[in-house]
């Protein structure tokens, strides 16, 4: 995944201002932000750059409004992606294609209007599409859907290349990168690698995704399995990221299995088809009944998808918190440990803002958005998963 020159030997058992554990999109963004802050930085990952949930993600850069804190973080981060856009290499495939939240009936149109009000009041450009406008904007959707909400500034990108870009930029700014370096323990200013080496750090940033909880006892996140399908090339068949409004029910559920219509046009002309959510499933293999449900759901909204060749199916695990907000900030009880994890299905979107507000905290600066909703101190035994 990486073109950066990195190796286990590349990480010296030295003292750093910050050691980032995890080179997924969140750790990569944290490393880049720390370097921009003028810190001496090391990044260590037991695997490769962007090989965890980041490699499995859909790369939808989406503003969400489940809660005010979720809106604040997604919108801020989307604006940071837009600022970064001119620097992104072509292989990151950033496209501002917009999202259409598709309403199947009049009840869902009421939700379209609620979302329109919420976004408009907060300066996000949106447009309500009636039945005819939806049909002409996305002619391959099934006829007689009620309409939708077009969110113009949403986009898509290719997450592993975005992570690689951020790591390479951090490395160009002086960061040391160690891949194939599993971390066995963190705390009290020390990061211990599996091979016994120890790195000292003023700040240890635990951005290990689903591996974060085993490094920070008391932290509880839960794995949430997802499936994605990618088709062969059908340029122009889908023009925007299309998501059924029922997706929100799927994303909100904290138990059980769910699927929702969620398709994305790639620059290659391929179509990425999602999505599923499953708790309490730890194994990676594709679950055929879930896959079938996803394809059926996609076919109900876009009948032409049934004729398409699919070339790959994969699964990945989102790291979920009980209140569906990430954990960004100091870990109570150890002033050297900071968390940047628990991003569930929004970590690609929110990586840049997460890194920015985390480094603001390390630097003792006021962040651009209120940080309190994301502070790890809110996690207590009363809220933790058991
Ligand atoms: C199917 C699916 C679809 C998704 N779609 C979207 C989307 O459209 N938009 C969006 O915003 N988000 C999406 N997401 C969510 C997004 O992919 C994640 O939130 C994000 O990738 C999390 O990034 P991360 O860096 O925290 O974790 P990861 O990418 O998992 O990175 C963690 C890294 O830590 C390393 N690590 C773990 N333990 C250790 C250890 N002990 N020592 C050393 N290294 C360690 C791992 O090797 C890994 O590289 C989706 C996720 C899935 C599964």
Distance of CA 223 to the CA centre of its chain: 14
Q: Are strands 270-279 and 99-103 parallel, antiparallel or unpaired?
A: unpaired
Query: CA-to-CA distance for 177 and 30, rounded, in angstroms?
Result: 13
Residue 55 has what pLDDT? Answer: 98
4, 24, 75, best to mutate for ligand 1 pocket (most atoms within 8 Å of CB):
24
306-331: burial string, b at 16+ Cβ within 10 Å, e else: eebeeeeeebbbbbbbbbbbbbbbbb
Q: How far is the CA of 384 from the centre of ligand 1 (A)?
A: 20
20, 27, 54, 317, best to mutate for ligand 1 pocket (most atoms within 8 Å of CB):
54
SS3 content of the chain, % helix, strand, coil (to 5): 35, 30, 35
23, 216, 291, 347, best to mutate for ligand 1 pocket (most atoms within 8 Å of CB):
347
Model confidence over 159-170: pLDDT tens digits?
999 999 999 999
Assess whether the C-beta atom of 19 lies below 6 angstroms from ligand 1.
no
Assess whether the C-beta atom of 358 lies below 6 angstroms from ligand 1.
no
The DSSP H or E segment spanning 264 is strand 258-265
pLDDT bucket at 1, cuts 50 / 70 / 90: very low
Q: Pull the structure tokens for residue 366.
A: 């006021």
pLDDT at residue 279 greater than cutoff 90 = no
Q: What is the mean pLDDT of residues 321-330?
A: 96
pLDDT at residue 107 greater than cutoff 60 = yes
Pairs from 107-110 (Cβ < 8 Å, separation ≥ 24): 108/146, 108/245, 108/246, 109/146, 109/147
Query: CA-to-CA distance for 67 and 283, rounded, in angstroms?
Result: 31
pLDDT at residue 5 greater than cutoff 50 = no
Q: How far is the CA of 138 from the centre of ligand 1 (A)?
A: 31
Q: Pull the structure tokens for residue 159.
A: 């997450």
Residue 250 has what pLDDT? Answer: 58
Model confidence over 15-69: pLDDT tens digits?
999 999 999 999 999 999 999 999 999 999 999 999 999 999 999 999 999 999 9
Percent of the chain with pLDDT over 90: 89
The DSSP H or E segment spanning 210 is none
pTM: 0.96
Residue 295 has what pLDDT? Answer: 95
Assess whether the C-beta atom of 329 lies below 6 angstroms from ligand 1.
no
21, 22, 154, 353, best to mutate for ligand 1 pocket (most atoms within 8 Å of CB):
22
Residue 246 has what pLDDT? Answer: 80
Assess whether the C-beta atom of 59 lies below 6 angstroms from ligand 1.
yes
Residue 383 has what pLDDT? Answer: 44
Residue 253 has what pLDDT? Answer: 62
Residue 380 has what pLDDT? Answer: 53
Judging by beta carbons within 10 Å of its beta carbon (0-12, 13-18, 19+), is residue 90 exposed, middle or buried?
exposed
pLDDT at residue 2 greater than cutoff 80 = no
Ligand 1 atom 19, closest CA: 347
Residue 11 has what pLDDT? Answer: 81
Residue 33 has what pLDDT? Answer: 98
Assess whether the C-beta atom of 342 lies below 6 angstroms from ligand 1.
no
| Residues 6+ positions from 152 with CB-CB distance below 8 Å | 96, 98, 125, 126, 127
Model confidence over 220-251: pLDDT tens digits?
899 999 999 999 999 999 999 999 998 666 56
Assess whether the C-beta atom of 74 lies below 6 angstroms from ligand 1.
no
Residue 197 has what pLDDT? Answer: 93
Residue 379 has what pLDDT? Answer: 82
Q: Quote the mean pLDDT of the chain.
A: 94
Count Cβ atoms below 10 Å from residue 333 Cβ, excluding itself.
11
- CA of 47, closest atom in ligand 1: 47
Q: How far is the CA of 269 from the centre of ligand 1 (A)?
A: 25
Q: Which of 23, 245, 37 is nearest to 147 (CA)?
A: 245
Q: What is the mean pLDDT of residues 181-187?
A: 97
Q: How far is the CA of 179 from the centre of ligand 1 (A)?
A: 16
Give 279 or 189, the one with higher predicted confidence.
189
Assess whether the C-beta atom of 281 lies below 6 angstroms from ligand 1.
no
Ligand 1 atom 20, closest CA: 347
Residue 254 has what pLDDT? Answer: 62
Model confidence over 144-162: pLDDT tens digits?
999 999 999 999 999 999 9
Residue 174 has what pLDDT? Answer: 97
Residue 280 has what pLDDT? Answer: 85
């Amino acid at each position: 995944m990486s073109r950066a020159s990195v190796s286990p030997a590349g990480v010296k058992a030295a003292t750093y201002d910050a050691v980032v554990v995890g080179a997924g999109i969140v750790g990569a963004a944290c490393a880049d932000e720390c370097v921009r802050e003028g810190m001496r930085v090391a990044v260590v990952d037991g695997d490769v750059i962007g090989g965890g949930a980041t490699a499995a993600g859909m790369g939808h850069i989406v503003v969400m409004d489940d809660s005010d804190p979720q809106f604040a973080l997604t919108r801020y981060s989307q604006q940071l992606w837009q600022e970064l856009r001119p620097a992104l290499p072509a292989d990151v495939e950033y496209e501002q294609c917009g999202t259409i939240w598709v309403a199947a009936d009049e009840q869902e149109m009421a939700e379209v209007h609620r979302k329109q009000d919420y976004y408009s009041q907060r300066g996000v450009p949106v447009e309500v599409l009636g039945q005819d406008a939806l049909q002409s904007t996305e002619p391959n959707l099934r006829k007689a859907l009620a309409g939708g909400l077009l969110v113009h500034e949403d986009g898509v990108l290719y997450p592993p290349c975005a992570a690689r870009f951020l790591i390479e930029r951090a490395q160009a700014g002086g960061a040391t990168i160690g891949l194939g370096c599993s971390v066995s323990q963190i705390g009290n200013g020390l990061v211990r690698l599996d091979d016994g080496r120890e790195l000292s750090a003023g700040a240890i940033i635990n951005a290990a995704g689903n591996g974060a909880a085993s490094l920070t006892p008391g932290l509880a996140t839960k794995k949430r399995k997802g499936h994605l399908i990618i088709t062969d090339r059908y340029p122009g068949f889908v023009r925007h990221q299309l998501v059924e409004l029922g997706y929100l029910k799927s994303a909100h559920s904290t138990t059980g299995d769910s699927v929702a219509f969620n398709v994305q046009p790639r620059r290659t002309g391929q179509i990425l088809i999602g999505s599923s959510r499953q708790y309490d499933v730890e194994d990676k293999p594709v679950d055929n009944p879930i896959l079938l449900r996803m394809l059926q759901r996609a076919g109900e909204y876009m009948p032409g998808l049934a004729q398409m060749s699919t070339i790959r199916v994969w699964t990945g695990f989102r790291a979920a918190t009980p209140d569906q907000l990430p954990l960004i900030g100091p870990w109570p009880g150890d002033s050297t440990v900071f968390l940047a994890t628990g991003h569930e299905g929004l970590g690609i979107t929110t990586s840049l803002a997460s890194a920015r507000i985390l480094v603001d905290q390390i630097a003792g600066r006021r962040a651009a958005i209120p940080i309190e909703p994301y502070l790890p101190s809110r996690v207590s035994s009363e809220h933790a998963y058991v």
